[in-house]
Amino acid sequence: MNDPRFRLNPAQAAELVAQFGTPLYVLDEATLRTTMRAYRASFEGRLSFAAKANPASAVLAIAYREGFGIDVASEGELRAALYGGVPAEACTMHGNNKSLAEIQFALSVGIGEIVADNFSELDKFIGLDFSMTRLLLRLAPGVDPITHEKISTGQEDTKFGFSISGGDAERAVKYCLDRGLPLVGIHCHVGSQLLEPSAQIAGGEALARFAVEMLTKYGWRCELLNVGGGLGVRYIHEEPMPIADYCASIVTAVKPILDAAGLDPVLAQEPGRSLVAEAGVTLYTVGAVKLAAGRRYVVVDGGLAENPRPALYGAEYAVERVLSHSDVSNLRPATELTPAPNPLLTGERMGLPTRLSGRHCETDTLIEDVDLPDDIQPGDVLQKLATGAYSSSMASNYNRYPRPATVLIRTTGDFVVIQRAETHDELLAREQVPADLLQTKERS
């Protein structure tokens, strides 16, 4: 089976560890561009990159230069796109609770589209300047995808969008038409990490039927029909449908419904994870190996702070040893060397189930049962595959750990930092301690 996931070779890993240490996010530009071009070759409609997957400004810049628009879900993501040279008119703002300040900022810079999620948002739009911005409605198509419940968004019981079956979607269209809002299209997103297209097809068909109904009832012609994103990636044993087949299946299902009514809207998709996940790895250094209750624990210098997905909903990853401790012993200053490995443990831990754990003050299990060599030792360097999506974008400072750097491997093979590592001074920059609390307490 072909495995297109990017992985570092030992020489690359050694150079990166020597320059930047661990933990470290690494993205491969060639893999990223190859996947984006596969989408462009497979889908004749409009494509946008879902910035939430990885909103590094350099990544958004690459996506835009590969012909993608940028979907943003906050003012921060919009600013990240603008910082990367993406024009505002190429951006679409999502979000189910956009503040008035966010909406006003987006309109002031000339954002291309805003997707309304609820009637409270539509009320905020009245009187605002939409002269440079088009409006879409996010609809809930009542589709329950085969994926984890935490990343299912298109079912009837959801916080997202106007319900089609409940009548809110129709009322929202009428609301916009009655008030002269520049409604041009409809949108849905049924969920993420979809390994086959049935849910997205069902969502697209529901939108197409709704568009036909609105044409019949109100004469409103849908100009843009966005079926969302969601194609899955390879983490462990998954085998998602090829991009070309996935795109073709959606178009084949949706177009006949529209054609029969004389509608010809632009079809749109907004992939995120499937563009960037397999282009990234995260490097970790093993800090401890221990035995407990018939299990081997391998503990690394990262965890839920720089990738909370395993803790949030049991996400699984493949991990490989890319360098042994002897390979990296000459890469670090003497003060950073890990303790010497204990050769007495090697025989005892052969064949034991292994749990890859993080350094945080939680159970912090990164991988429950991981296949690592019996001779794994402190100082070994591991790479976790397919971490290009939803790792750095969801990172936190739990336990006051600074967030890692992100390094991009250019198509020339050069390394360039696109997000530098945080410092401890930056972690404390927001702190303000009242003066009286800083007074030295006298000991009794």
pLDDT digits (tens, 9 = 90+) for 217-265: 999 999 999 999 889 999 998 899 999 999 999 999 999 999 999 999 9
pLDDT at 292 over 60: yes
CB 392 within 8 A of CB 25: yes
- Partnered with residue 269 across adjacent β-strands are 47
How far, in Å, CA of 303 to CA of 365, rounded?
8
Instruction: Specify the pLDDT at position 30.
Output: 98
pLDDT at 156 over 80: no
Task: Match 């987006």 to its residue by tokens.
Answer: 106
How far, in Å, CA of 399 to CA of 397, rounded?
6
How far, in Å, CA of 307 to CA of 93, rounded?
25
Between 444 and 386, where is the model more confident? 386
Mean pLDDT of 271-288: 97
Residue 42 token pair:
């497979």
% of the chain exceeding 70 in pLDDT: 91
Instruction: Specify the pLDDT at position 255.
Output: 97
Phi, psi of 217 (to 5 degrees): -80, -40
Instruction: Specify the pLDDT at position 160.
Output: 80
DSSP string, 377-412: -TT-EEEEES-SSSSGGG---GGGPPPPPEEEE-TT
Q: Please, which pLDDT band fits residue 266 given cuts at 50, 70 and 90?
A: very high
CB 341 within 8 A of CB 378: yes
pLDDT at 154 over 80: no
pLDDT digits (tens, 9 = 90+) for 382-401: 999 999 999 999 999 999 99
Is 361 assigned a catalytic role?
yes
H helix or E strand, kind and range, residue 175: helix 168-179
Instruction: Specify the pLDDT at position 199.
Output: 87
pLDDT digits (tens, 9 = 90+) for 4-18: 899 999 999 999 999
Mean pLDDT of 45-56: 97
pLDDT digits (tens, 9 = 90+) for 163-197: 999 999 999 999 999 999 999 999 999 887 888 88
pLDDT at 151 over 50: no
pLDDT digits (tens, 9 = 90+) for 318-375: 999 999 988 876 665 544 555 555 654 554 556 789 999 999 998 899 999 999 999 9
Mean pLDDT of 20-48: 97
Of 392, 192, 426, residue with least CA distance to 307: 392
pLDDT at 158 over 90: no
Instruction: Specify the pLDDT at position 148.
Output: 41
Whole-prediction pTM value? 0.92
The domains located in the chain, with CATH, are: 29-273 (3.20.20.10), 278-427 (2.40.37.10)
Q: List % helix, strand, coil for the chain (3-state, nearest 5).
A: 35, 20, 45
Q: What is the mean pLDDT of the chain?
A: 91
Q: Please, which pLDDT band fits residue 23 given cuts at 50, 70 and 90?
A: very high
Residue 128 token pair:
């605002």
How far, in Å, CA of 169 to CA of 175, rounded?
10
Catalytic residue chosen out of the listed positions 176, 222, 247, 361: 361
DSSP 8-state code for residue 155: S
Task: Match 């984890």 to its residue by tokens.
Answer: 148
H helix or E strand, kind and range, residue 184: strand 183-187
Task: Match 């950073």 to its residue by tokens.
Answer: 336
Instruction: Specify the pLDDT at position 440.
Output: 80
Between 78 and 199, where is the model more confident? 78
Burial readout 26-51 (b: 16 or more C-beta within 10 A, e: otherwise): bbbbebbbebbebbeebbebbbbbbb
pLDDT digits (tens, 9 = 90+) for 96-128: 999 999 999 999 999 999 999 999 999 999 999
Long-range CB contact pairs, 214-218, < 8 A, 24+: 214/170, 214/173, 215/261, 215/263, 216/261, 217/170, 218/173, 218/174, 218/177
DSSP 8-state code for residue 168: H
